[in-house]
Amino acid sequence: MSTRTTAGVGASALLTILLLAGCTPAATPDAAPSATVEAQPTPTATPTASAPAATATSATATGSTLEVFAEPGGSVTTTLQNPQESGAPLTLLVAATQGDWLQVHLAQRPNGSTGWVKADAVQQHSLEYSLEASTEANTLTLLKNGQAVKSFSAATGTGGTPTPHGEFFITELLEPTNQGYGPFAFGLSAFSDVLSSFGGGPGQIGLHGTDDVDSIGQSASHGCIRLSNADITELANLLPLGTPITIS
């Protein structure tokens, strides 16, 4: 990344996505990895009129908390902390707009949860890139403005611990500090359908590198998506938080 800052994460803020479903290679210890927080890449500028339309829009909280409502003007269902426990800025994916309100996808169970936030409580950014993962083909495809530009071989969940399907987004970017997870790890808004907890966390799914090169292209994880370390590094230098990912 062109601009990079890191901050240590203490024991109470261990890497969320790697504590949980699918992120621990079979040969690694059960101890949860520690991590440093990777600064979010500068969001891609809004395309000009002659450029293809942006893929999606992210919403990053501007205050220390963000209230989520059941409906525009309705009751508060939850209050989210900014930054997140890991230190990453609280960024959500916009699903719809209604006046001064935004419907956003939430990183919580059940998968596919949404809520409403006030538009003036977030900063919106246009997103050029999106991802599509196939658990059948064990691939991850990078798209720019809806057009496929590159495909990566990936490892996904096994039959007993499958990678969940659905529409999700990148919640955080971290640098694991212990072996087994590669140089970078994205947290996703997806949660395992079969593991309610894993390694001390709630079973959140991640997209990360791996020291187990032979697992790439196989159904080999507890639910997370693994890439080669070179490939995850390429994406870590490209994708901002909020980037949508479809898993099918």
Give the catalytic positions in this structure: 208, 224
Residue 115 to residue 135: CA distance in whole angstroms = 28
Specify whether the CB–CB gap between 64 and 114 falls below 8 A: no
For 122-142, give the DSSP string: EEEEEE-EEEEEETTTTEEEE
Q: What are phi and psi of 230, to 5 degrees?
A: -65, -40
User: CA 140, 143, 147, 152: dihedral to nearest 10 degrees?
Assistant: -30
- The strand pair at 114-118 and 101-105 is best described as antiparallel
- The strand pair at 225-226 and 204-208 is best described as parallel
Residue 207 to residue 48: CA distance in whole angstroms = 31
